[in-house]
């Protein structure tokens, strides 16, 4: 009998460019777009709990709240808090925990279509590569707001250099901050962080910037210089196929290193800094979402 593999990661992409004025006023944005990744904590398998159910349900809630305008359009942390609150109140009790990273681009943005996905939401895939293109008529193309809990995260790359990045949140080595729904009677015995603990940031993005949002399966296996090298060929590109290829290369390279027992990965280097003598990559779920901010055409 073939063993079923439980996968933990998921993401959603939502682009809002409403055609009717009523929708436009409801969302309060001329155009906005969202992307989010969540990575279920694999330790729940020992409890007989699918680690992917919590993360996928959390992202589904985020997507629904965004699509209906039921959120504060300037605060990703509030969107995360509302989605988490919905999980707490649901009749179908979802157990488990997850990291999460939400990124919102807003301003004078005219968004193009997704080039790689047929749906706005994907989950339960070991290796996920997606890219989006954003188009603007200004040099200062918009404002990026983010909320991050745990060790998923993002990079903003400009001119081959990282100009903004998320900050990893860890209780201790290999134990990230996480939103949790523990089984009854275990409260106080498992980690459970509040959405209010999310690291929230806001800054301008410019034409030519690249935005990469990914789970820790990428960052634990690829050092930042390696990611930058893989993005060199698409800095300033307007070709969606090239962005897709770059997203593919990043995911594939992360997976290759994850199973290399002799590779000195960022995860192994971090382990050594915490007194654990190890080497090799870290096999993990890998999700990559890549976006480019462009000038006028």
Write the pLDDT tens digit of every residue in 189-224: 888 999 999 999 999 999 889 999 999 999 999 999
* pLDDT at residue 277 tops 90: yes
Mean pLDDT, the chain, integer = 81
Look at residue 2 and tell me if it is in a domain: no
19 located within any domain = yes
How confident is residue 3, by pLDDT bands cut at 50, 70 and 90? very low
Q: Is residue 258 part of a domain?
A: yes
Does residue 270 form part of some domain? yes
Of the listed ranges 104-108, 125-129, 271-275, the one predicted with least confidence: 125-129
Q: Per the domain annotation, does 285 fall within a domain? A: yes
Residue 55 belongs to domain spanning: 9-294
> Could you tell me if residue 241 is inside a domain?
yes
Structure confidence at residue 240 as a pLDDT band (50, 70, 90): confident
Euclidean distance between CA atoms 88 and 12, whole angstroms? 20
Higher pLDDT, 122 or 147: 147
In a domain, 157, yes or no: yes
pLDDT tens digits for range 72-92:
778 999 999 999 999 999 867
- Residue 249 located in a structural domain: yes
- This prediction has a pTM of 0.84
């Amino acid at each position: 009998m073939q063993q079923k593999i439980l996968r933990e990661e998921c993401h959603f992409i939502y682009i809002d460019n409403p055609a009717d004025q009523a929708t436009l006023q409801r969302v309060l944005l001329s155009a906005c777009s969202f992307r989010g990744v969540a990575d279920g904590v694999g330790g729940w398998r020992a409890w007989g709990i699918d680690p992917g159910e919590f993360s996928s349900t959390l992202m589904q809630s985020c997507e629904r709240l965004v699509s209906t305008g039921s959120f504060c359009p300037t605060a990703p942390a509030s969107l995360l808090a509302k989605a988490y609150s919905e999980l707490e109140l649901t009749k179908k009790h979802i157990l488990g925990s997850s990291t999460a990273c939400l990124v919102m681009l807003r301003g004078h943005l005219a968004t193009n279509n997704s080039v790689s996905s047929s749906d706005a939401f994907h989950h339960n895939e070991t290796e996920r590569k997606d890219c989006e293109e954003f188009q603007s008529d200004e040099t200062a193309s918009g404002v990026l707001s983010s909320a991050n809990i745990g060790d998923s995260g993002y990079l903003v790359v400009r001119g081959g250099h990282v100009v903004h990045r998320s900050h990893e949140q860890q209780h201790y080595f290999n134990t990230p901050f996480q939103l949790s729904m523990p089984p009854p009677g275990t409260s106080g015995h498992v980690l459970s962080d509040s959405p209010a603990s999310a690291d929230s940031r806001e800054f301008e993005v410019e034409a030519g910037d690249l935005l990469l949002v990914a789970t820790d399966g990428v960052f634990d296996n690829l050092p930042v210089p390696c990611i930058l090298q893989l993005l060199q060929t698409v800095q300033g590109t307007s070709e969606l196929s090239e962005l897709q290829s770059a997203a593919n290369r990043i995911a594939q390279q992360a997976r290759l290193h994850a199973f290399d027992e002799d590779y000195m990965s960022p995860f192994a280097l971090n382990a050594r800094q915490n007194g654990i003598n190890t080497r090799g990559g870290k096999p993990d779920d890998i999700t990559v979402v890549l976006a480019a901010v462009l000038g006028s055409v």
